[in-house]
Structure 1
Amino acid sequence: MEILEIGMQAPEFNIIGSDDKTHKLSDYIGKKVILFFYPKDNTPG
């Protein structure tokens, strides 16, 4: 797996949202998207 650097284009991916719908990154072409990752809840990380 390639490590992403700041400013690099993110690879295509699908994710299930809090609305229980599947969202594809490509669905948001031309829009601003913020990806935020955090450690699993209630862990020391």
Structure 2
Amino acid sequence: MSADAAALRSRVKVRAAELEGRGWLNTGGRSLSLAELRGRVVVLDFWTFCCV
């Protein structure tokens, strides 16, 4: 990890709220929690199927 990345990481203390009761895709039908993804890079794609 670079010095810049380490400095940024030490300042970031925000935790995401758990996304309970949401439908996850590509999990084989099993439940998934954000706690299981701790330490990994996670990309969330929020979209809708209608015009906003």
| Within-5 A mapping of 1:1-40 | 8-14=14-20, 15-18=22-25, 19-39=28-48
TM-score normalised by structure 2 residue count: 0.52
Quick check: which one's strand share is greater? 1
Distance in 2, matches of 1:11 and 1:25, equals: 8
Q: Which residue of structure 1 lines up, in the alignment, with residue 3 of structure 2?
A: none
Deviation at 1:9, TM superposition (A): 3.1
Count of residue pairs brought into register by the alignment: 37
Instruction: Name the structure where helix makes up a greater proportion of residues.
Output: 2
Among all aligned residue pairs of Structure 1 and Structure 2, give the percentage whose two residues are the same amino acid: 19
CA RMSD in angstroms, aligned pairs only = 2.0
Which is greater in Rg? 2
Question: Aligned AA for 1:13?
Answer: L
